[in-house]
Chain A
Amino acid sequence: MTLSTAPAAAQDLSTDQLLEAYRRMAKIRKFEQRLHLENQTGDIPGFIHLYAGEEATAVGVCMNLKDTDYIGSTHRGHGHCIAKGCDIKGMMYEIFGKQDGLCHGKGGSMHIADLSVGMLGANGIVGGAPPLATGAALTAKYLGNHGVSVAFSGDGGSNQGTVFEAMNMAVVLNLPVVFVFENNGFGEASGADYSVGSKDVAGRAAGFGLPAVKVDGTDFFAVYEAAKDAVALGRSGGGPSVIEAKNYRWFGHFEGDANLYRTKEQIEEIKRDHDPLKIFRSKVEGLIDMAELDKIEQEAEQEVDESVAEARAAAEPTPDQLTVDVYKNY
């Protein structure tokens, strides 16, 4: 089995699908750009890691999934959440630590989860998702429901032992899991070319016996096509696979990172030449009216605006919530 390396043609997707893909990418972009500003007010506790610049990867993958399929995410999870259908307001409330957040303010940015849409959680532990997604695939296989799961990891996370173990076990048990490695070139302040010994994340898959493909992670259509094949493989009992998506992170590793490992010019160049939304627009020219895409962006911005205003005004968890949900009963 080989996975597609050629991008899908925009014509192969329905207008609705194209608009939906752009909507999800625009929501992610607006959400993250706004958080970049909100974080500077000091009202958001803890650490946030922004996904801007990587939108096409999350959306290209998740447009192939149903609510009953699961994804496991990373510390940089907002994009995966939105792509998988998490509610923007519920996310924003959570990031502000409010009672009506998706996790009732208990989790925060690094732990947003909504199992009802197949989002198994952002994850504060690098390398956390691959074994968990392998477990979700085990459930799907056992139940015979043709579900698949996806584990997102970064280039940095690809070096974690848990990832190697999960890939090998998924092959041994022939599980419907797709390991997606988002190679944005850095893990914190270390280059992928430093920390990945072979300098080839996808290349490792062969040693474990998984088919693998490398795609341009800033091109929605490239990711979409590769993920379509990988998901179909899993659904049909063909087992696990690997996708390495090359993309770029626009902001620092976390909000507050001074970006000393790259120059301002390099970041400007990334934003200019590797903008997944711009690339999408260039590929749907003639098929979609650009005014529609503008409108989608405005709507996304408005939704984010409202979510911030509401989240700021929302109620904090009450003291009695402190020990609620440690167990179902105790």
Chain B
Amino acid sequence: MTATSTVKGTTMTQTGEQKTKRMSFRQAINAAMAEAMREDEKVVLIGEDLRGGNGGTNPDPTVEAFGGVFGVTGGLWTEFGGDRVIDTPISESAILGAAAGAAVTGLRPVAELMFMDFFGVCYDEIYNQAAKFRYMFGGKATTPLTVRGIIGAGVGAAAQHSTSPYHLFTSTPGVKVVVPSNPADAKGLLLASIRDDDPVIFCEHKALYDVKGDVPVGSYVIPLGKANFTRRGTDVTIIAIGNPVNAANKVADKLKGEGISVEVLDPRTTSPLDEEAVLQSVADTGRVVIADESAARCGFGHDLAALIAQKGFHDLKAPIHLVTPPHSPVPFSHALEQLWIPGAERIEEAVRTVLKED
């Protein structure tokens, strides 16, 4: 168990003695898929260049030429073969639609959308199909589908390869949405997502792929809907999800030196949302900063703020502060992109401000 994942008021299934291994976010996600495929032969992966090297002039029929664009599926084709690690044409509607159709008829597919921005090409297969099956069909359908995709700004990937549209997914009833911030959570949450009997969208921030952490080996599940306190504190709460959690941790550690006690709460999943943990922390500190990369309008941060305003209003000692990107596409220029990201500097500034207000 990692030093940072102290849990308050919530349950986790891992035990304190679970053996861990140091690995990257990328490797942790890979390990979760391997684990899921070993334990359930109905789990199949489907997407573009999960292996790479089919057809063409590939001189070595055993080579995995890509293993995913960021190498996240590397080794899985070699272990599980082409029947279970399925490379497709560039056809996202068919990928998600086929995954939804396969899920509702007996498989447990993990579809990869590569960059989550591409949901724009194909979201109908979730929005009007997979997400609605159970309800529309009167509870008769089960759609155990996981959609993986890359989110996040910070590497100069520009407007169409850098967004974090999990707020849009969160507003879709019938889908669950996961946004992990560290390797251990990524593994535990992905295994939970794959085992879940409803569609889950799993968002991987590209800036995290090389980040390392201690990850429990073997079967390790973190239930969806259970928040994590990555820092405990009493003066102010930063609620963050995905990569901004790491910026928030940095701010908390820095301010500790100044005698400011910062709590950092990572909901880990936006849907379901651990409302209890959010409201508990608000009650404890009374001051809230929300750091969210999704959107400046109608984003996940606004959803949290509405929750706190409705159910935690009387615990607040100061207005809620939101740290989000501006209401703009993600700029290409490195200088502008750094300003766009809701990073540590802006979070720190918000914390200092909220501490002065009442």
- Interface, chain A (partner B; CB < 8 A): 44-47, 94, 97-99, 103, 105-111, 123-127, 156-157, 159-162, 185-197, 260-263, 266, 316-317, 319, 321-323, 326
Contact = CB atoms under 8 A, between A and B. Distances in A.
A47 B331 contact: no
A189 B160 CA distance: 21
B60 to A, nearest CB: 8
A230 B40 CA distance: 53
* Interface-central residue, A108, A123, A192, by most chain B CB under 10 Å: A108
Contacts of A188: 48-49, 52, 66, 69
A160 B64 CA distance: 24
B333 A260 contact: no
Nearest to B88: A195
A185 B336 contact: no
A193 B56 contact: yes
Interface string B73-112: 0000000000000011111111000000000000000000
Interface of B: 48-49, 52-59, 63-66, 69, 87-94, 117-118, 120-121, 155-161, 326-329, 331-337, 339-340
Given A46-B156, A125-B160, A194 B91 contact: no
13 contacts: A97-B156, A105-B333, A105-B335, A125-B120, A159-B90, A161-B94, A191-B58, A260-B52, A261-B58, A261-B65, A316-B334, A323-B328, A326-B329
Nearest to B120: A125
A110 B160 contact: yes
A257 B222 CA distance: 35
Contacts of A322: 326, 328, 331, 336, 339-340
Contact of B57 (A106, A109, A261): A261
Given A111-B159, A111-B160, A321 B336 contact: yes
* Interface-central residue, A125, A189, A260, by most chain B CB under 10 Å: A189
A188 B121 CA distance: 18
B90 A262 contact: no
Classify the secondary structure of B's interface with A.
loop
A190 B161 contact: no
A261 B52 CA distance: 7
Nearest to B52: A189
B85 to A, nearest CB: 13
A163 B326 CA distance: 33
A64 B220 CA distance: 61
Given A126-B90, A159-B90, A189-B66, A107 B158 contact: yes
A159 B48 CA distance: 12
Please list the 8 inter-chain residue pairs (A to B) with the smallest Cβ-Cβ separation, ordered nearest first: A45-B156, A191-B55, A191-B56, A194-B55, A189-B52, A108-B332, A124-B160, A46-B156
B90 to A, nearest CB: 5
A97 B333 contact: yes
Contacts of A108: 156, 158, 332-333
Contacts of B159: 106-107, 111, 124
A3 B242 CA distance: 53
Contacts of B64: 260
A45 B328 contact: no
Contacts of A126: 90
A97 B332 contact: yes
B140 to A, nearest CB: 29
B56 A186 contact: yes
A160 B91 contact: yes
Nearest to A43: B334
Contacts of B69: 188
Given A106-B333, A260-B65, A317-B335, A194 B54 contact: yes
A110 B56 contact: no
Contacts of A125: 117-118, 120-121, 160
Given A45-B334, A107-B332, A125-B160, A260 B56 contact: no
B161 A189 contact: no
A317 B333 contact: yes
A268 to B, nearest CB: 13
A99 B56 CA distance: 41
B333 A98 contact: yes
A45 B156 CA distance: 5
Contact of A46 (B54, B120, B155): B155
A97 B54 contact: no
Contacts of A321: 331, 336
Contacts of B66: 188-189, 260
Nearest to A316: B335
A161 B93 CA distance: 7
A190 B87 contact: yes
B121 A260 contact: no
B55 to A, nearest CB: 3
B49 A189 contact: yes
B90 A46 contact: no
Given A107-B332, A123-B160, A187-B48, 11 more contacts: A46-B158, A46-B161, A97-B334, A106-B333, A193-B56, A195-B89, A263-B59, A316-B335, A317-B331, A319-B336, A322-B328
A323 B327 contact: yes
Contacts of A45: 155-156, 332-334, 337
A187 B57 contact: no
Contacts of A109: 158
Contacts of B88: 195
A262 B57 contact: yes
A76 B94 CA distance: 24
A159 B52 contact: no
Given A161-B93, A322-B326, A106 B54 contact: no
Nearest to A162: B121
A321 B326 CA distance: 12
A94 B156 CA distance: 12
